[in-house]
């Protein structure tokens, strides 16, 4: 996709706009590549994430919408308690490449996403205190987006929630990159293709020093540390599955921000009828019954369950409609113990899936009601006393009626979030 209309070809070490020196690749999406850059001027943060969009017209237009939304969140009310939980834009400009004109957005630099954390947990989930801290901050960010900016995010999911990292850690990553340049060595492939927060080898959980010791033992001779680091990186390159470089992310002081306003829209100006990533898609969106802020709350509920258990609350089979929708609706029915009949009567798609308040062509006997509280106890072996308040909280977020669903502000006041134990 590095061709006309596509991604901008970027090399490590390039200086863009005469100001941003490219250090590492951070990630990529449908629309863009994102790079860790050093700001060579003293007019802003020293490190930024630079999102460089594909150049085709369509992508440029989407980028303009994203910039408008980011501008709104940047300027409306910096003193709001949720402001610091939205990844903020620093600057925006255009870049020229052989593939065309690319919109570039520099943003405050963040660390790995919650998806990285879930992977690191081997999909077993994270401690409930961590879940509380994270969800509280997500909800604060959403009160700002919803109540103040009138923006619907439309794509709340672990991938789009990023963890704040220490500037020193960023500096150490850059240090490694610069070491390669100094030594005149070729940059490891992962620095330009893979993402910054994953390592190539599962086995290598030991510290670099420990590995050096083993390495020396094997070779029966001592080894210069600098040279060893290079070897280590290429060794990790050659090996299997990714994992996080450091377990420090799930610290008790975890701070997160909501990222990727690339799909966001205005309360009074939607860009699409079909929003959200399948597993986090709200009931009203599936039913074609219109959507607003409550759709983000539904996704937040799904995400809270996933962070706590390591598994998705709803993972419908297939991705082709209508069968995926039907399976999704069955799962929602089973998890909530039914869907009120009046909800099944409004929406562009309801006739396709419901008849007289019942799921079409699905015999009652094939549905097995299994409510969240019981799932937590039976499947995840939670104590009933812990399962009850958490399930209660989740059910207020995945409430079928968007009008009755908790708002972000209400959820922040909920008993489960306020309780400390």
Number of amino acids touching ligand ADP (CB under 6 A): 22
30 near ligand ADP (CB under 6 A): yes
**Residue (195 or 201) nearer to ligand ADP, CB:** 195
**Residue (86 or 286) nearer to ligand ADP, CB:** 86
188 near ligand ADP (CB under 6 A): no
- Residue 295 interacts, among ligand ADP, Mg ion, none and using kind-specific CB cut-offs from 5 to 8 Å, with none
31 near ligand ADP (CB under 6 A): yes
Q: Which stretch binds Mg ion (CB under 5 A): 25-33, 65-73, 75-83, 218-226?
A: 25-33
Backbone angles phi, psi at 247, to 5 degrees: -85, 0
Work out how close the CB of 164 gets to ligand ADP at its nearest, in angstroms, rounded to a whole number: 10
- Residue 334 interacts, among ligand ADP, Mg ion, none and using kind-specific CB cut-offs from 5 to 8 Å, with none
Give the separation between CA 406 and CA 297, rounded to whole angstroms: 7
Number of amino acids touching Mg ion (CB under 5 A): 2
Q: 371: annotated binding-site residue? A: no
Are residues 107 and 49 in contact, defined by beta-carbon separation less than 8 angstroms? yes
Give the separation between CA 419 and CA 421, rounded to whole angstroms: 7
Burial class (CB in 10 A: 0-12, 13-18, 19+), 319: exposed
260 near Mg ion (CB under 5 A): yes
- Residues in 75-114 at the binding interface with ligand ADP, rule: CB under 6 A: 87, 107-110, 113
155 a catalytic residue: yes
**Residue (262 or 347) nearer to Mg ion, CB:** 262
- Beta-carbon neighbour count of residue 359 at 10 Å? 18
Site map (CB under 6 A) of ligand ADP, residues 42-61, x = contact: -------x-x----------
State which residue has the least CB distance to ligand ADP: 29
- Beta-carbon neighbour count of residue 90 at 10 Å? 18
Catalytic position from the list 43, 129, 155, 321: 155
Are residues 261 and 73 in contact, defined by beta-carbon separation less than 8 angstroms? yes
213 Cβ contact partners less than 8 Å away, ≥ 6 residues apart: none
Among 24, 27, 37, 326, binds ligand ADP (CB under 6 A): 27
Work out how close the CB of 260 gets to Mg ion at its nearest, in angstroms, rounded to a whole number: 4
Give the separation between CA 302 and CA 157, rounded to whole angstroms: 8
Beta bridge partners of 409: none
Give the separation between CA 118 and CA 157, rounded to whole angstroms: 12
Give the separation between CA 198 and CA 188, rounded to whole angstroms: 13
Q: Which stretch binds Mg ion (CB under 5 A): 126-134, 188-196, 252-260, 348-356?
A: 252-260
* Bond preceding residue 322 cis, omega within 30 of 0: yes
260 near ligand ADP (CB under 6 A): yes
**Residue (255 or 327) nearer to ligand ADP, CB:** 255
Backbone angles phi, psi at 74, to 5 degrees: -75, -35
Give the separation between CA 58 and CA 96, rounded to whole angstroms: 17
262 near ligand ADP (CB under 6 A): yes
Q: Which stretch binds Mg ion (CB under 5 A): 115-123, 256-264, 373-381, 385-393?
A: 256-264
Q: Which of 13, 9, 10, 11 is nearest to 178 (CA)?
A: 13
Among 29, 288, 310, 389, binds Mg ion (CB under 5 A): 29
Work out how close the CB of 29 gets to ligand ADP at its nearest, in angstroms, rounded to a whole number: 2
32 near ligand ADP (CB under 6 A): yes
Give the separation between CA 420 and CA 252, rounded to whole angstroms: 14
For tokens 């009567």, the residue is 345
**Residue (103 or 335) nearer to ligand ADP, CB:** 103
Q: Which of 140, 156, 134 is nearest to 410 (CA)?
A: 140
* Secondary structure percentages of the chain, helix, strand, coil, to 5: 45, 15, 40
Annotated binding site: 51
Residues of this chain that bind ligand ADP (CB under 6 A): 26-32, 34, 49, 51, 87, 107-110, 113, 159, 162, 195, 259-260, 262
Residues of this chain that bind Mg ion (CB under 5 A): 29, 260
Annotated binding site for ATP: 51
Q: Catalytic positions, please?
A: 155
């Amino acid at each position: 996709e590095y061709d006309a209309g596509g991604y901008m070809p970027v090399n490590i070490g390039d200086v863009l706009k005469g100001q941003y020196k490219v250090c590492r690749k951070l990630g990529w999406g449908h629309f863009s590549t994102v790079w860790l850059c050093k700001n060579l001027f003293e007019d802003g943060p020293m490190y930024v994430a630079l999102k460089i969009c594909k150049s085709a017209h369509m992508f440029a237009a989407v980028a303009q919408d994203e910039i408008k939304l980011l501008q709104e969140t940047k300027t409306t009310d910096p003193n709001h308690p949720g402001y610091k939980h939205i990844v903020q834009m620093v600057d925006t400009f255009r870049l020229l490449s052989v593939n065309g004109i690319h919109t570039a957005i520099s943003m405050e630099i963040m660390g790995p996403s919650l998806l990285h954390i879930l992977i690191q947990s081997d999909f077993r989930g994270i401690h409930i205190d961590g879940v509380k801290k994270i969800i509280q901050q997500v909800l604060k960010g959403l009160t700002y987006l919803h109540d103040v900016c009138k923006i619907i995010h439309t794509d709340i999911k672990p991938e789009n929630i990023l963890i704040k990292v220490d500037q020193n850690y960023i500096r150490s990553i850059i240090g490694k990159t610069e070491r390669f340049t100094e030594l005149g060595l070729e940059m490891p492939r992962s620095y330009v293709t893979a993402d910054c927060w994953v390592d190539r080898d599962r086995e290598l959980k030991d510290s670099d020093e420990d590995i050096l010791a083993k390495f020396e033992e094997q070779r029966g001779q001592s080894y210069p540390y600098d040279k060893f680091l290079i070897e280590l990186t290429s060794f990790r390159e050659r090996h299997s599955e990714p994992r996080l470089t450091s377990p420090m992310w799930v610290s008790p002081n975890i701070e997160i921000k909501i990222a990727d306003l690339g799909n966001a829209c205005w309360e009074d100006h939607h860009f699409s009828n079909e929003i959200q990533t399948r597993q986090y898609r709200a009931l009203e969106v599936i039913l074609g019954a219109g959507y607003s802020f409550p759709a983000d709350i539904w996704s937040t509920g799904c995400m809270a369950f996933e962070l706590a258990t390591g598994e998705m609350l709803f993972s419908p089979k297939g991705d082709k409609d209508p069968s995926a929708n039907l399976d999704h609706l069955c799962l929602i029915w089973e998890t909530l113990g039914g869907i009120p009949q009046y909800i099944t009567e409004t929406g562009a798609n309801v006739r396709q899936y419901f008849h007289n308040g019942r799921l079409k062509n699905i015999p009652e006997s094939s549905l097995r009601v299994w409510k969240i509280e019981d799932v937590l106890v039976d499947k995840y072996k939670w104590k009933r006393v812990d399962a009850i308040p958490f399930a209660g909280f989740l059910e207020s977020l995945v409430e079928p009626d968007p009008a009755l669903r908790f708002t972000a502000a209400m959820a922040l006041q909920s008993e489960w979030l306020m309780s400390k134990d």
